[in-house]
Amino acid sequence: MKFVVLVKEVPLAPEVDTDGTGHVVREDVPSIPDPRCMRVLDRVIGSKAEGDSVIAVAMGPPQAEATMRDCLGRGADAAYLLSDPAFAGADAYATARALAAFVTRFVPDYGLIVCGDRTADGGTSQVPATLSRMLCAPQFYHVTDLRLGNGGREAVQDYGGGLRVCRVPDGAVVSMVPSGGCGRDPADPGMSAEVTVLNRVALGLGAFSVGAKGSKTRIVSFSRPETAEAVDPAEAAGYILGVIR
Amino acid sequence: MSNCSTCPSSGTCSIGGKDDDGLPPGMLQCYNLNQSTAEGNLVWIETVPTADGYAIADASAEVLGKLRGYDTRLFGVLIGGNGLKGLYDAAFSFGVNTLYHVKEAALSEYHPEAYCDALADVVNRVNPAGVVLGGTARGVEIAPRLAAALAAGLVSDCVDLSMDGREMTFVKSSFGGRSVAEAVCTTFPQMATMRPGALPVPEPEAGRKGTVIYRSMKDADLKGIVRSDEAGIERPAKRATFILGSEIGEGSIAVAERIAAATGAIVMCTPALAEAGSMPSDRVFDGIADTGVLFGISGADADFVRSCVMNRMVVVSADPETNVGQSADRLIIGDTGRILAEIDRKLGS
């Protein structure tokens, strides 16, 4: 089975800024692979059976190639970076459209698409569901475990109020809550395997269907406090007690 | 005769010429023919089972309470079987004018694809200007699929919204609450999910009435649910984890251990604290937890903290310019020792 794992490179918050149109500027901003995505990638690679392959894909600026090399070092069989200046300013809808075009063109025989439940930057949790609707595929959110049952692959889903187990058909999009042990370091971060970079034309997408032009939302203002203010210890203690109890 | 220079009829028309759009002057501005006719707001009313039936989820009530304050029609959608009839009056009391009930016994169980199809069917019929859902576990799953089905924009995890006419502006926080953004949708319907608890739960207005419209849904896209009961499915224990960073004092470690013993939490540390010899190396946090509270975090712990994965993360640091709170749900700036002592005091240790 071919597993497609969606990963993302996220900017470090203190350095993040927006341009005049409200879009987050990612070029030349220090970034890291999203830890949730990498945990999920590790988990999929760890559960790989003979004959399975894992394909990592991300959309991002050219510098995200380092994250894709990291994916190859962790054991992914192939890594694709969707990168084009026209992709800049994409919201979740435009991002999912590019990913859907990638899957349709380059991995039409995929078995499962797996991704983290949210990322550290936007944390929108939108892409998996948007992508699954664009691919007319079933979706599984809040998945804490993906396992082989008697009738095939099953997902354990945690909706907060209760757990349930569902059969997962081939072609589904699975949004996983990372769990388990420690994240792995790349076995060979300096490996020479090639990252395939695909641009808008390679994906067969028009200029008005990607990036800011293909987005359905727009940020009109963005503000970040310069420094956080100190909190009264009693107030902080009350808040923390509410969290841990 | 008109002296209009752009008139294609060379001044032979009888209505005084045409504008650049080829229409009589002012006609496009008057009728705004390119404008969407979307009107009103629509809310998916999520339900939760209770001992004697069902209740409207707080997250949905919060959204209804916010939108009823605007002078526009409010549509609600209930999805499920006959058991939801008892919620009609409650929905009206929260401001719903027209309530759509997609009545299908099979949908008493939650099926995201089918729920999305049901909502899309109602949205296409109603043509609302805004579609807002509570950002619950189900809401965050359905909303993006619905937005994709409607080719609509979606702003998620909003903490507030405002309306100017039909135009909505959504306020959301990102980067662990360290930034605040205002966002708009560029097409109708405008869609959003609201963070549960961000808006007040409204007081019901008893006696309000509205219209109920039934919809059916044939051939719903149902999931193959193997088991939906909690019994028999092992659920991992969700204990909070304290992660002590390199800035914590020796005395505060003992206080943290005492608090953990009283609350059932686990105490771990960052690699930097273990390397300093303040805690044993087998107590280094493995990087994943459900709820984590990080005390005494400094720049030396930054890389480690960024690699942590938690469903809920609170970072306590004395450094007001710290950049380690990127992924945190809340960053608390303060004296770690005093905060721990205050928690200890509240617990009566």
Confidence of residue B241 (pLDDT cuts 50, 70, 90): confident
Assembly ipTM:
0.89
Higher-confidence residue of B259 and A14: namely B259
**pTM (predicted TM-score):** 0.82
CB atoms within 10 A of CB A208: 9
Q: Which domains does chain B have, with CATH numbers?
A: 1-35 (no CATH), 41-215 (3.40.50.620), 240-346 (3.40.50.1220)
Chain B residues with CB under 8 Å of A241 CB are 263, 343, 346-347
**8 Å CB contact between A43 and A243:** no
Tell whether A156 lies on the interface with B, counting CB pairs under 8 A: yes
Q: For chain A, give every domain's residue range.
A: 2-218
Out of B230, B309, B341, the one facing A39 most closely (by C-beta) is: B309
**B190 vs B52: CA distance, rounded Å:** 36
Q: Which residue has the higher pLDDT, B349 or B279?
A: B279
> Cβ contact (<8 Å) for B306 and A238?
no
Q: Do B154 and A93 touch (CB under 8 A)?
A: yes
B47 with B54: CB under 8 angstroms? yes
For residues B178 and A215, the model is more confident at A215
* CATH match for A2-218 among 3.40.50.300, 3.40.1410.10, 3.30.70.330, 3.40.50.620: 3.40.50.620
- H/E element, B309: strand B309-317
Nearest residue to A122 via CA among A19, A8, A216, A6: A8
A177 touches chain B (CB under 8 A): yes
> Are the beta carbons of A45 and A75 closer than 8 angstroms?
yes
| b (16+ CB within 10 A) / e for A136-157 | ebbbbbbbbbbeeeeeebbbbb
For chain A, which residues score pLDDT lower than 70?
12-29, 122, 179-192, 224-229
pLDDT of residue A232: 85
Whole-angstrom Cα distance, residue B319 to residue B331? 11
Q: Do B112 and A154 touch (CB under 8 A)?
A: no
Contact between A143 and A175 under an 8 Å Cβ cutoff? The reply is yes
With a cut of 80, say whether residue B252 has pLDDT above it: yes
A144, A145, A244: best mutation site toward chain B, by most B Cβ within 10 Å?
A244
Residues B209, B91: Cα–Cα separation, whole Å: 9
* Average pLDDT value for chain B: 85
Q: How many helices (H) and strands (E) does chain A have?
A: 6, 14
- Crossing angle of helices A127-134 and A92-106, rounded to 10°: 50
Q: How far is CA A64 from the centre of its chain?
A: 13
Q: What is the pLDDT of residues B269-316, one digit of tens each?
A: 988 888 888 888 888 887 777 788 999 888 778 777 877 777 778 888
Q: According to the model, what pLDDT value does residue B2 have? A: 46
Stated as kind and residue range, the H or E segment containing A51 is none
A45 vs A39: CA distance, rounded Å: 10
* Residue A22 contacts B where some CB pair is shorter than 8 Å: yes
């009693």: which residue's tokens?
Answer: A234
The predicted-structure confidence for B115-156, as pLDDT tens digits, reads as follows 999 999 999 999 999 999 999 999 999 999 999 999 999 999
Do A233 and B341 lie within an 8 Å CB cutoff? yes
Name which of A184-193, A230-239, B32-41, B238-247 the model is least confident about.
A184-193
For the stretch A121-125, contacts whose Cβ atoms lie closer than 8 Å and that sit 24 or more positions apart, written own/partner, are A121/A8, A121/A10, A121/A11, A121/A13, A121/A16, A121/A24, A121/A34, A121/B174, A121/B175, A122/A92, A122/B174, A123/B157, A123/B174, A124/A92, A124/B144, A124/B156, A124/B157, A125/A175, A125/B140, A125/B141, A125/B144, A125/B156
**Chain B, nearest residue to A32 by Cα:** B306
Q: pLDDT band at residue B1, thresholds of 50, 70 and 90?
A: very low
Closest Cα to residue A64, out of A121, A9, A23, A24? Answer: A9
Q: What is the rounded CA–CA span in Å between residue B177 and residue B171?
A: 12
Instruction: Determine whether A241 is exposed, middle or buried from the number of CB atoms within 10 Å of its CB (0-12, 13-18, 19+).
Output: middle
Alpha carbons B279 and B250: distance in angstroms, whole number: 10
